[in-house]
Amino acid sequence: MLPADSAKVESARDEAAKVMAMDQKKLIKILESSKSTDFAKAKACQRLAVIGTKEAVQALSALLAHPKMAHYARFGLEPIPDASVDDALRRALGQLDGELLIGVINSIGQRRDAKAVEALAKLIEDSDDEIAVAAAAALGRIGTIESALELEKALDHTKKVACACLECAERLLSQDRKEQALALYGALLRRSDLSEALRALATRLQESSRPG
């Protein structure tokens, strides 16, 4: 490594260590300042994923539309145990598109926000297949009766929700909702265009879930 490159690496390490030692108020100031570097903002997001509270949500959510910082913002938001995170992510569904929208959908799925079911169900109809599949996957992770019903409806006209149906059924089983899980397996198996592997898996899971 050239001396100049070595100096840059050392400087970055020092900056990262400095940011990671800051309290929440200072981290929020970094996110809100136009003078902060993307590197400092990224490190602030990473630290807020560990120590962030409701007070950090506004600053983090303001970066959800930033092409370079959105990933770090979601990383910081996802672990914060406050409903304001879910509110911010749901609002972002109607404000973003493309990869940024997919990222927010994934975060909603990770947080298993049941209040997002209706909005996600609409996105299954999106003309962008990647957005539609992401929305279905999020519904599967949420794993409520309501999300199962939306996935079952979608099965009437598309098989792209098939994998999401399997995850949703698994979630339902973990909640001791066998009847709803079996109904979802049944709806999935009624499709004639499933791959052989997916049909075999769904059949096996259905049989193992039956009472007795």
Question: For position 211, what pLDDT does the model report?
Answer: 76
Question: For position 8, what pLDDT does the model report?
Answer: 65
User: Buried b vs exposed e over 66-79: b needs ≥16 C-beta within 10 Å?
Assistant: eeebbbbbbbbbbe
On average, the pLDDT of the chain sits at 93
Calculated CA dihedral for residues 161, 164, 170, 172, nearest 10 degrees: -80
For tokens 């169900």, the residue is 121
Spell out the residues 6+ positions from residue 33 whose beta carbon is closer than 8 angstroms to its own: none
Question: What is the average per-residue pLDDT within 166-195?
Answer: 94
Residue 153 has pLDDT above 60, yes or no: yes
In the chain, where does DSSP find H-type helix?
Answer: 3-20, 24-32, 38-51, 57-61, 70-77, 83-93, 98-111, 117-123, 129-142, 145-155, 162-174, 178-189, 196-209
Residue 3 has pLDDT above 60, yes or no: no
Residue 1 has pLDDT above 70, yes or no: no
For residue 167, give the 3-state DSSP assignment: helix
Residue 115 has pLDDT above 70, yes or no: yes
Residue 208 structure tokens: 């193992």
The Cα 24–Cα 177 span in angstroms is: 41
Residue 7 has pLDDT above 50, yes or no: yes
Residue 2 has pLDDT above 60, yes or no: no
Cα–Cα distances in angstroms (integers) from residue 73 to residues 51, 54, 77, 103, in the given order:
14, 14, 6, 10
Residue 5 has pLDDT above 60, yes or no: no
Structure confidence by residue, pLDDT tens digits, 44-65: 999 999 999 999 999 999 999 9
Question: For position 209, what pLDDT does the model report?
Answer: 87
Domain-wise residue ranges, the chain? 118-212
Question: For position 12, what pLDDT does the model report?
Answer: 74
Dihedrals phi, psi of 53, to nearest 5 degrees: -130, -170
